[in-house]
Each structure stands twice: as C-alpha cells, then as structure tokens.
C-alpha cells in the first residue's frame, strides 16, 4: 500500500514507485517531517537532532530545552508556538485579538483514492492508479480550530500532493491571516533554487542560484499566477544536471496570487514552501465555516532535472488535464490575431479559411474584435453579442461558412473583463472591481468583473451560451489581459476574501463551460502566458504560451516552460517573418520546427500572402506535425541543449517504449570554419539499432546515447533541423 501507518513509531510513510515521504507525531503532539527522497524502508526518526541551542523557545508543556519548534523539521509550521521561521499558517482572534495558535496532532484518516477539493482544481486518480489519501488532523484545543493536512499519493507518477482544510469548530470567529499548503523541511544540504521569472512576452525564464542565508521568495500579488513569476519552484543539489543529482519541486494547482519561498535558517536547515499569497488576504471563519488551501504537487527525482520534469509532464497530461481533448491530438489551427488584428470581416475570415484549407490547416480561430463595437482594445468587453455588420451575419452563420470552407471554427472571449465603454458597464457599473472613492486603475483600458459574485458570473455565462449554443464552435480561447489591482467587492463581507473568491468564481465559470460544451477545446491565455499554471490546465488542456511568437525567443520561453509543464499543453504558432514584436527574421522551417515543440501547434499569419512555395511548405509542415503529433503529445521530453548556451538549442521527444524518437535543433550562432555540434539523444532502447529517416542510416542506440551524431555544418544561424529515429525491428 502506498501509505503505511506505523503505530509503534507513530510514523506515516507515503511510498510511490521511486520515492518515500515520511513524517512522525512526536511525543509532544507535533508532526515532524522526517524524509522525502529515494524509496526506502525503515524509520528515519534519527534525522532530527535535539540539543539545547541556547536562545530557542519551547512550548510550556514540553519542559525540555533540547526541544524547540524553531529548529525541528515540521509538516505544517504555524505561527504561535516558537517556530520563528517562515510559517504556513497564521491565525488571529477577531476584533484585533491575539495572533497565534497551537496545532497538535488529533488523529488521522486513510482512504483509497485521491481526494478532490470542492470548487478547486486538483490532481485526480483513475481506478487502476492505486492512489490513496491520508488526512492528518491538527487541532488547537482552545480555539477549537481543526487543520486537516491532506496528502494524495499517486504511486505510478512519483507524486505526492498536499492541500489543507481549516475548519472552525469553536464558538468565536477567527481570522486566517496566512494559509499555505505545503512545506518541505530539510535538516541539512547545500542547494540551488530554480525559479521562473519573466514579463509579458518573455515568460518562464529559468533562474538558478545558490541558496544563501535568509529567505528567497517569488510570488504574485496580481490576482493571476502571473507572467512575472511562475507558481513552480525547484530545489536541487548544487551539482544537479539534467541527468544527475537530487531535485525536489512544488507546483501550485491554483491560478491566483501565490507565494513560494525557500529559507536557509540559522542552523543551515532549509525550508521550502508554497501556497496562497497573504497579501490583501484575511479570511474570517465564523463558527462552522471552513477554508481550503489549494493543492501543491510535489515530486522528487534522484536523477536530475530531466526526470523531475518528465514526472510532472506525465502527471499534468494524464491526471490534471481532463476531458475529451486530454489524450487527443489537437487540430492544427490558424489564429486571426497576428493575421489581421481587429481588421477583419466575415468575408475576409472566410477567405483566410479557404487559403488555410489549401495549406492543410484544420481550424480557424476568430480572435478579438468580433463583438459589440470592438474595433480596438478600448471598448465592448462584456458585450458578447456579435457585430453582425462586421461578420456579415451571426456567429452561427459565420461558423457555417468556415465549416463549408472545410475548417472547424473557433472563437475568442475575455469573459473576466469589462470595458467602461460597454452596455454591460453602463447597466452595472458596480459589477466591476473598484475601491469606492479611490480613482480606478485601468489596464489595457479595461476593468475586471467581480467574479466573486454569482450574479455577475451568471450574466457572463448566459451571454456566452447565447452564442455557443447556436454556433458550431469547436474551440474557444479564454483570454485575460490585465492584473487585478482594485480589490473591492461590494458583496464581500470582508475584502480580504475577494482575491480568493475571485479565483473560485473563475473556476466555477470554467467548470460550467466544460460541462456544457464537453467537446469544445478551450485554450487558456492571459496576454499570452500570464496564467500558465496547473490550476488552469485542469480546465484548459492547452495554454497560449506567450504573446511573443519570435521563434528564437520562443526557444527560451518554451524550454523554460518545459521544466514544469508538458509540451502537449503549450500553444505555439508560426507567425510572420520578420517577427512583428521583435523584427527578427527567421526561416519558415525554423518557425515551424519551434512551434512543433507544442501540442497546440498552429499558424498566426495571413496565409493569403504566402507564395505558392510557402503554401506547399506549410502543407508539408502540417503533414509532418500529424506524422509525429502522438510522439510530441505523449513522448518523454528531453532538454538536450538548452538555449542558454547561445550556440544551439536542441530537444527530443522519445516514445515511452523506445520505439521512436524525434530530435530537433535550432542553430543560434556559428563561427567560421567552426566546430561541429553533436547531439546525444536519450531514452532509446539499449542494445537496439535505430534508423534515421533523414539520413537513411542505421545507428546503434548505445553509440547514439554516448557519442551522439553530428549536425550538418552547413546550417546557418536560425536554421533548424530535425531527425526522426525508429527502432529497427520494433
């Protein structure tokens, strides 16, 4: 069984195929963290050390100066009993009362299957997964406050998840000031921290640095998980590489504000933690009320960062993403945004669809500009009625014309937003988030709807259904183009709850959409990759990775994204050259090679302007994508050469069973009469022979995986190449 309860040692041990996680209830009732590492048997309660460290506090019932929560590794560090490192939990009595609580072990429950979280996304299990849930209850006896620590064990995925439920069983209201979901305390170790920073158009750049004393933290106070820092963090050995060394990660299954921190304390111990941001957060819990801290996914790799990523890829693809499109190859699409921006009509879209059909494209997406009086980004958000004059009819009629041209039809929405210049805003100005008496803060000239209010969600949903019920819509792009600044809801009983309830409202809308249109493919987007997180992937199996479509920039963005997220989830398009954002030219073949790193492959340019040779090239690209789409969706992804080398970027998809592999590379720089680059594929079957479709040669797999093979020296900067290997006799 994945969860083992040892009553003698008072330990709980969580086993996955290759990992073990262990904790213990100590003699004073506190739950200590013991171990998270390679799978092992035994009790690791020899790891924490007890010693009088001078100035370290003790709870009064302990009476032993060698025992201090300020030193010991814990499962759920809370503020109030002497641990003065970063807490996960802090609570205050109402009416300006005291801070602090005393949470001690009160019992456990073990059940088969993986827990779910009401109204929140979470990893789910399927029958044969053998998943288990362990719930450990901590209790503050005086406040009668229960904190349930939820552990989900996914043995075949090498994943342990954590979430937390706080229940007020007392008679007084308490205020939760801070609630984070997961903590990993290391008693020793010299680590690097790998975080992912960015901005609009440059998301998820890996940043690796040695962990010094103090607290390193990233987070978002933007109401969305954000372009600036991703809710995903890795702690690894200082020497860890793609292939070797230990690495631990946390991914937040949540799309709003977060905080992720790693602290090195006075005794060189390390605490890694993740959960809700406590900025503008203050959650009153009346008697009987509860609050759930969203889920954190943890994984451990003893074999470097590559395996860590692959664990997450498989889990997110198979047990976070859901629905009809989870395992299906996605249609190759053409998006109208960089092809036409706001400047289109129904006729021009049908024209585009006809040309796209010639190119082999399967779906046309009508992006922003189809509704209200939207001819620029200054108006009409909230008025989700088609501009029939512009479209030449209703959305249903246009969808029919696009279908007649041989393509499926897709549409763009930005349901969370409202323009002041809109009928919706004129009718319901109080539906927008705004702080009374304070000047409003606009972003892209728009305001944010108060999704914490059910009537606001209902109104948006009804408008969406009025279009989607009638029209044959195969795809929907869910955009969100600003952060939340004015956090005030006229319906909230405490403004400290608004950011959290907004995200729950967002999830409610997304859930309703997926229930009503189960076969519609929904792609997430937030000015590109401003909300690329595991929470959104529960509702939208792919996300537009970035508004930057420059192929060379996309290498760093997509490879950075791959540390925590599967390629199958990345929306990636071929756009015009020179790129409209960066002015950098790149060959069509390279733009396609880079976009084919994503399972959400498509085009975003005016295909009518392609010369005949370009149309033929696109046809070949679409056929190539189809030939390899299963491998791109489900293969093991390897970062062979990261773009940071500035010389080359190379990656590989290898079939789980070793039957085939696709290796691709883009040259970034060359030197005259230069040194050849060799690529060393991974994940092939040892002792086998592979045939390469491009060279026609046969290669022994062990030699390939050790000496590699040379790339053509003729490749110029920004040119690309791809090699498909199939196991001979497979």
- Listed ranges 2-10, 34-42, 307-315, 522-530: which one lies at the site for ligand DGJ (CB under 6 A): 522-530
List the one residue from 252, 283, 325, 337 that touches ligand DGJ (CB under 6 A): 337
CB of 377 to ligand DGJ, least distance (A): 6
CA distance 164 to 277: 15
Min separation Cβ 595 and ligand DGJ, Å: 14
Whether 547 is catalytic is yes
Of residues 543 and 689, the one with the C-beta less far from ligand DGJ: 543
* DSSP character at residue 684: P
> Does residue 481 belong to the site contacting ligand DGJ (CB under 6 A)?
yes
CA distance 608 to 598: 24
Q: Which residue has the tokens 């109204």?
A: 119
The reply on whether position 450 binds ligand DGJ by CB under 6 A is no
* Tally of helices (H runs) and strands (E runs) in the chain: 13, 37
Q: Which is nearest to 74 in space by CA: 63, 60, 64, 84? A: 84
State in angstroms the smallest separation of the CB of 407 from ligand DGJ.
19
Q: What's the min distance (Å) between Cβ of 344 and ligand DGJ? A: 12
Q: Does 370 bind ligand DGJ (CB under 6 A)?
A: no
Strands, sheet with 636-641, edge to edge from the N-terminal-most edge strand = 636-641, 648-654, 660-667, 720-727, 689-692, 698-700
Q: Is 379 a residue that touches ligand DGJ (CB under 6 A)?
A: no
CB of 342 to ligand DGJ, least distance (A): 8
Q: Is the CB of 408 or the CB of 547 nearer to ligand DGJ?
A: 547
Q: How far apart are CA 198 and CA 79, in angstroms?
A: 32
When binding is defined by CB under 6 A, the residue of 547, 550, 652, 660 that contacts ligand DGJ is 547
The distance of closest approach from Cβ of residue 366 to ligand DGJ in the complex, given in angstroms and rounded to an integer, is 11
Beta bridge partners of 448: 417
| Residues whose CB falls within 8 Å of the CB of residue 730, separated by 6 or more in sequence, listed in order | 658, 659, 660, 688
Alpha helices in 435-497 (DSSP H): 454-468
Quickly list DSSP for 24-51.
EE-TTS-EEEEEEEE---S--TTSS---
Residue closer to ligand DGJ (CB basis): 75 or 547: 547
What phi and psi values does residue 377 have, to the nearest 5 degrees? -90, 25
The residue annotated as part of the active site, out of 367, 479, 486, 533, is: 479
Is residue 406 within 8 A of residue 357, CB to CB? The reply is yes
Residue 293 or 331: which CB sits closer to ligand DGJ?
331
Q: Which of 26, 129, 547, 550 is catalytic?
A: 547
Binding-site member from 164, 183, 433, 525 for ligand DGJ (CB under 6 A): 525
Q: Which is nearer to ligand DGJ, 139 or 477 (CB)?
A: 477
Quick check: helix, strand or coil at residue 618?
Answer: helix
203 counts as binding ligand DGJ under rule CB under 6 A: no
**Parallel, antiparallel or unpaired: strands 333-335 and 600-604:** parallel
Phi, psi (5° rounding) for residue 305? -75, -25
Which of the ranges 123-131, 314-322, 520-528, 610-618 carries the binding residues for ligand DGJ, by CB under 6 A?
520-528
Q: Out of 11, 161, 527, 621, name the contact with ligand DGJ by CB under 6 A.
A: 527
CA contacts within 13 A on the Cβ side of 8 = 2
Burial grade of 185 (CB within 10 A; 0-12, 13-18, 19 or more):
buried
Q: Which of 479, 157, 514, 478 is CA-nearest to residue 323?
A: 514
* Least Å from the CB of residue 296 to ligand DGJ: 27
Query: According to CB under 6 A, which one of 367, 523, 550, 660 is a site residue for ligand DGJ?
Result: 367
Least Å distance, CB 135 to ligand DGJ, is 40
* Torsion, Cα of 627, 632, 635, 638 (10° steps): 130
Q: Is 365 in the site for ligand DGJ (CB under 6 A)?
A: no
The site for ligand DGJ, by CB under 6 A, has a size of 12
| Known catalytic membership, residue 190 | no
Rg, Å, the chain Cα set: 26
**Does 528 help bind ligand DGJ (rule: CB under 6 A)?**
yes
Contact region with ligand DGJ (CB under 6 A), list: 293-301, 322-330, 525-533, 572-580: 525-533
Cα distance between the two ends of the chain: 35
DSSP 330-358: PPPEEESHHHHTT---HHHHHHHHHHHHH
Q: How far is the CB of 549 from ligand DGJ (least distance, A)?
A: 9
Q: Taking CB under 6 A as the rule, does residue 523 contact ligand DGJ?
A: no
Q: How far is residue 471 from each of residues 121, 330, 371, 634, measured CA to CA in Å?
A: 29, 20, 14, 32
Which is nearer to ligand DGJ, 408 or 479 (by Cβ)?
Answer: 479
Distant-in-sequence, close-in-space partners of 215: CB < 8 Å, separation ≥ 6? 86, 261, 262, 263
Pick one of 70, 368, 450, 486: the residue that binds ligand DGJ (CB under 6 A). Answer: 368
d(CA 559, CA 556): 5
Position 603 contacts ligand DGJ (CB under 6 A): no
Contact call for residue 344 and ligand DGJ (CB under 6 A): no
Segment near ligand DGJ (CB under 6 A); pick from 85-93, 157-165, 524-532, 684-692: 524-532
d(CA 267, CA 252): 28
Contact region for ligand DGJ (CB under 6 A) — 500-508, 521-529, 700-708, 716-724? 521-529
- Using CB under 6 A, pick the residue from 409, 478, 544, 601 that binds ligand DGJ: 544
Nearer to ligand DGJ, 220 or 527 (CB): 527
413 contributes a contact to ligand DGJ by CB under 6 A: no
Confirm or reject binding of residue 412 to ligand DGJ (CB under 6 A).
yes
73 vs 524, beta carbon nearer ligand DGJ: 524
Catalog residues that contact ligand DGJ under the rule CB under 6 A: 337, 367-368, 377, 412, 479, 481, 525, 527-528, 544, 547
Residues annotated as part of the active site: 479, 547
């Amino acid at each position: 069984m994945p969860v083992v309860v040892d009553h003698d040692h008072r330990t709980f041990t969580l086993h996955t195929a290759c990992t073990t996680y262990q904790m213990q209830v100590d003699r004073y009732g506190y739950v200590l963290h013991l171990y998270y590492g390679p799978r092992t048997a035994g009790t690791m309660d020899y790891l924490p050390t007890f010693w009088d460290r001078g100035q370290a506090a003790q709870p009064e019932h302990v009476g032993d100066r060698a025992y201090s929560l300020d030193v010991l590794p814990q499962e759920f560090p809370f503020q109030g009993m002497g641990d003065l490192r970063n807490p996960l939990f802090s609570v205050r009595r109402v009416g300006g009362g005291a801070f602090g609580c005393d949470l001690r072990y009160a019992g456990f429950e073990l059940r088969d299957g993986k827990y779910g979280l009401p109204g929140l996304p979470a990893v789910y299990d399927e029958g044969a997964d053998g998943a288990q849930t362990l719930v450990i209850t901590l209790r503050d006896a005086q406040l009668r406050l229960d904190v349930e620590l939820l552990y989900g064990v996914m043995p075949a995925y090498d994943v342990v998840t954590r979430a937390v439920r706080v229940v007020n069983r007392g008679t007084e209201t308490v205020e939760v000031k801070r609630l984070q979901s997961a903590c990993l305390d290391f008693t020793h170790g010299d680590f690097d921290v790998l975080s992912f920073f960015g901005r609009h158009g440059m998301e998820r750049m890996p940043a690796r640095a040695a962990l010094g004393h103090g607290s390193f933290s990233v987070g978002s106070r933007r109401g969305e998980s954000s372009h600036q820092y991703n809710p995903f963090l890795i702690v690894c050995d200082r020497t860890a590489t793609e292939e070797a060394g230990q690495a631990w990660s946390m991914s937040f299954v949540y799309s709003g504000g977060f905080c992720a921190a790693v602290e090195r304390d006075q005794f060189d111990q390390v605490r890694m933690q993740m959960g809700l941001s406590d900025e503008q957060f203050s959650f009153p819990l009346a008697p009987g009320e509860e609050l759930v801290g969203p889920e954190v996914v943890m994984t451990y790799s003893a074999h470097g960062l590559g395996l860590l990523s692959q664990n997450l890829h498989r889990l997110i693809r198979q047990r976070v993403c859901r629905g009809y499109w989870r395992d299906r190859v996605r249609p190759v699409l053409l998006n109208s945004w960089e092809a036409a921006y706001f400047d289109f009509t129904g006729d021009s879209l049908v024209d585009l669809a006809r040309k796209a059909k010639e190119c082999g494209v399967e779906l046309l997406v009508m992006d922003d500009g189809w509704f209200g009086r939207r001819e620029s980004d200054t108006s009409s958000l909230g008025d989700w009625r088609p501009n029939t004059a512009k479209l030449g009819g209703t959305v249903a009629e246009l969808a029919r014309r696009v279908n007649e041209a041989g393509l499926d039809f897709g549409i763009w929405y930005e349901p969370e937003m409202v323009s002041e210049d809109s009928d919706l805003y004129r009718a319901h100005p109080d539906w927008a988030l705004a702080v009374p008496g304070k000047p409003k803060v606009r972003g892209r000239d728009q305001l944010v709807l108060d999704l914490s209010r059910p009537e606001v969600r209902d109104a948006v949903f009804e408008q969406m259904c009025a279009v989607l019920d009638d029209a044959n819509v195969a795809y929907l792009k869910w955009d969100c183009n600003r952060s939340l600044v004015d956090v005030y809801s006229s319906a909230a009983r405490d403004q400290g709850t608004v950011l959290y309830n907004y995200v729950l409202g967002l999830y409610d809308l997304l859930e309703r959409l997926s229930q009503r249109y189960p076969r519609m493919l929904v792609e997430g987007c937030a000015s590109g990759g401003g909300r690329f997180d595991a929470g959104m992937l529960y509702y939208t199996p792919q996300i537009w990775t970035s508004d930057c479509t420059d192929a060379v920039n996309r290498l760093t963005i997509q490879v950075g994204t791959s540390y925590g997220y599967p390629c199958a989830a990345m929306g990636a398009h071929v756009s015009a050259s020179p790129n409209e954002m960066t002015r950098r030219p790149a060959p069509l073949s390279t733009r396609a090679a880079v976009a084919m790193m994503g399972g959400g492959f498509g085009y975003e340019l005016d295909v009518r302007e392609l010369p005949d040779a370009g149309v033929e090239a696109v046809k070949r690209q679409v056929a190539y994508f189809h030939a390899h789409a299963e491998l791109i969706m489900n293969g093991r992804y390897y970062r062979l050469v990261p773009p940071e080398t500035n010389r080359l970027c190379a990656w590989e998809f290898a079939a789980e069973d070793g039957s085939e592999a696709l290796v691709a590379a883009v040259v970034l720089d060359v030197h005259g009469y230069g040194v050849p680059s060799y690529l060393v594929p991974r994940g092939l079957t040892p002792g086998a022979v592979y045939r390469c479709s491009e060279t026609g040669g046969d290669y022994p797999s062990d030699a390939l995986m050790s000496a590699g093979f040379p790339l053509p020296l003729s490749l110029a900067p920004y040119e690309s190449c791809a090699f498909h290997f199939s196991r001979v006799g497979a």
